[in-house]
Amino acid sequence: MKKICLSLVFSIGSVYAAHWGYDKHNGPDMWAKLDPKFKLCSSGLKQSSINIESKKTTESKNELHLLYGTNSKDIINNGHTIALHFNEAGGLVYQNRKYNLVQLHFHTPSETQIEGKSYPMEMHMVHKDEKNNYLILAVLFRKGQNNIMLNNVLSYAPIDIDKAHQMDMIYISQLLPKNQGYYAFSGSLTTPPCNEGVQWIVLKESVEASQAQIDAMHAILKDNARNVQPLHDRVILSAP
């Protein structure tokens, strides 16, 4: 799998902050024109995210094990999303390879679609292994009951851009569904420079969040979702 420098994953809101966004003049359809470094945003053949059609998937025999703990870390508004950064928060095992969680962030509405349907919110959990290969675990949120741990995130989320707060303990498992069925495919970063070689896993079961929580997150993020990308010849794996 192609290696991606850590600096690329966390470039959101730093080096490229003045160049790209989600408005008409600097949004996803314009990214590749804003900077030569962003050319993969239009020319890449394994771009994320995608629309997943369950009838067009292939059965996966790869086990997924989620092994998260608790962690206290910084939460920042980088101008494009609300991001939490971690040092020692556990991670996951996929294809017998251990990936450590290094960051999570949010999109409203979702970037992933299931059967052509978008969700009001999506969480991306960014992981890396010892060889700096990246894996993103995507969690979809649906309108429902209040999510206690999401309340914790929102209570610390900075409203002002480039502001960071120290967050109390976060129980990551409380932001995840009970069922670990998933879809898996090869993709890319969903933000410039859109580098490919990223292993994607989308959990099938969504997580509940209240309308008030969804609205609160959207009030900070606005619409920060990239449109779905062509699948081309990629295979989507599915595990129950």
How far apart CA 102 and CA 116 sit, in angstroms, is 30
Structure tokens at 11: 């470039």
pLDDT at 127 over 80: yes
Active site residue 85: no
Please report which confidence band the pLDDT of residue 148 belongs to, taking 50, 70 and 90 as the band edges: very high
- Mean pLDDT of the chain, nearest integer: 93
pLDDT at 9 over 90: no
Q: What is the percent of the chain with per-residue pLDDT over 90, rounded to a whole number? A: 88
CATH 3.10.200.10 fits 6-226+234-239, yes or no: yes
Which H, E and C letters describe the chain, residue by residue? CCCCCHHHHCCCCCCCCCCCCCCCCCCCCCHHHHCHHHCHHHHCCCCCCCEECHHHCEECCCCEEEEECEECCEEEECCCCEEEECCCCEEEEECCEEEEEEEEEEECCCCCEECCECCCEEEEEEEECCCCCEEEEEEEEEECCCCHHHHHHHHHCCCCCCEEEECCCEEHHHHCCCCCCEEEEEEECCCCCCCEEEEEEEECCCEEECHHHHHHHHHHHCCCCCCCCCCCCCCCEEEC
Q: What is the percent of the chain with per-residue pLDDT over 70, rounded to a whole number? A: 92
Instruction: Single out the catalytic residue among 80, 107, 124, 127.
Output: 80
How far apart CA 198 and CA 15 sit, in angstroms, is 21
pLDDT at 6 over 50: no
State pLDDT tens for residues 31-46: 999 999 999 999 999 9
Once rounded to an integer, what is the mean pLDDT over residues 58-64?
97
Please report which confidence band the pLDDT of residue 150 belongs to, taking 50, 70 and 90 as the band edges: very high
State pLDDT tens for residues 151-196: 999 999 999 999 999 988 889 999 999 999 999 999 999 999 999 9
pLDDT at 13 over 80: no
Record the pTM: 0.92
Of the listed ranges 8-22, 103-117, 173-187, the one predicted with least confidence: 8-22
Please report which confidence band the pLDDT of residue 88 belongs to, taking 50, 70 and 90 as the band edges: confident
How far apart CA 138 and CA 171 sit, in angstroms, is 17
